[in-house]
């Protein structure tokens, strides 16, 4: 069975609540499609108004991060059931910016993966190599470790529902998109890694996105690749371009 494409925007630390609602209103007609899942991953403070603004549309709302404890003395963190109660369906876990600036480790991300599934949230787990790792020829060694630790203890049935975003760090926010060959090669290797951890059925079901400076010009060639099931889009998700990416066909 063909995998359904999933195209998610990652707003990062952009948009005040009122700006967020205005952006949803602008994008809503542009991202209307029945051909793909469309997700807006937004800053925590924007979640409640964005969920409200997306009602009646095809847009699902995601968070950009989440903590792995249920509740308690974790000042500044957001608990899984807070997201669920607010109407969130997806959560980005382990974005490279969180790994780099906030010291998130593969083990932290694994704990978050477990919590997301416990609460019925779909994780979008990010992985990807630095330029140095690519030049040293260790791209897949590094990504396999991220995937293996990230999915440790996650069942095959859970993994089938998960989304992995392959985002080469050197392509995020730089305007440098990986070539379609580079992106397809790594996404195929990630799928092979999932087949090794689980089985072919799980590998065939899991959705793998490419992320890194996706724009309306690069999206069609990327999304047509056999192992690329859509995109995680940063900069271009904040403008009308996102509509063109969603309707890439
Ligand atoms: C991202 O933030 O996940 C991302 C891919 O950003 P950009 O599209 O701006 O490179």
Pocket-forming residues, ligand 1, beta carbon under 6 Å: 10, 12, 167, 172-173, 211-214, 232-236
Write down the pLDDT at residue 1. 64
* Ligand 1, atom nearest to 165 Cα: 3
- Residues with catalytic annotation? 95, 167
Cα-to-centroid distance, 148 and ligand 1 (Å): 23
Q: Whole-model pTM above 0.85?
A: yes
Cα-to-centroid distance, 73 and ligand 1 (Å): 32
| Pairwise CA distance, residues 235 & 89, whole Å | 22
Nearest CA to ligand 1 atom 2: 234
Half-sphere exposure of 19 (CA within 13 A, CB side): 10
- Residue 177's pLDDT band, with cuts at 50, 70 and 90, is confident
* DSSP conformation class of 169: G
What average pLDDT does range 45-70 have in this prediction? 98
Residues near 26 by beta carbon (within 8 Å), at least 6 away in sequence? 240
Strand partners, 91: 63, 123
The SS3 call for residue 61 is strand
What average pLDDT does range 100-114 have in this prediction? 98
- Residue 178's pLDDT band, with cuts at 50, 70 and 90, is confident
| pLDDT digit string, tens, across residues 15-35 | 999 999 999 999 999 999 999
* Ligand 1, atom nearest to 211 Cα: 5
Assess contact for 109 and 95: CB atoms under 8 A: no
Cα-to-centroid distance, 72 and ligand 1 (Å): 32
* Ligand 1, atom nearest to 214 Cα: 8
What average pLDDT does range 129-135 have in this prediction? 95
What average pLDDT does range 147-164 have in this prediction? 98
In this model, does residue 4 exceed pLDDT 70? yes
* DSSP conformation class of 4: P
Write down the pLDDT at residue 124. 99
């Amino acid at each position: 069975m063909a995998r359904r494409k999933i195209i998610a925007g990652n707003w990062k630390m952009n948009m005040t609540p009122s700006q967020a609602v205005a952006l949803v209103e602008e994008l809503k007609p542009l991202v209307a499609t029945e051909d793909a899942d469309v997700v807006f991953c937004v800053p925590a403070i924007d979640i409640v108004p964005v969920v409200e603004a997306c009602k009646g549309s095809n847009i699902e709302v995601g968070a950009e991060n989440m903590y792995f404890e249920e509740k308690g003395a974790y000042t500044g963190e957001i608990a899984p059931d807070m997201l669920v109660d607010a109407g969130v369906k997806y959560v980005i876990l382990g974005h490279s910016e969180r790994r780099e600036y906030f010291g998130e480790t593969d083990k932290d991300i694994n704990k978050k993966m477990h919590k997301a599934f416990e609460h019925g949230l779909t994780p979008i787990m990010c992985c990807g190599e630095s330029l140095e790792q690519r030049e040293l020829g260790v791209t897949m060694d590094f990504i396999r470790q991220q995937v293996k630790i990230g999915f440790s203890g996650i069942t095959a049935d859970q993994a089938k529902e998960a989304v992995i975003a392959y985002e080469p760090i050197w392509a995020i926010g730089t305007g440098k998109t990986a070539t379609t060959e580079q992106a397809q090669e790594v996404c195929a290797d990630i799928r092979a890694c999932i087949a090794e951890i689980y089985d072919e059925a799980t590998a065939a079901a899991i959705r793998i996105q490419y992320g890194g400076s996706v724009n309306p010009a690069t999206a069609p060639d990327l999304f047509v690749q056999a192992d690329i099931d859509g995109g995680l889009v940063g900069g271009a998700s904040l403008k009308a371009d996102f509509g063109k990416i969603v309707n890439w066909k």
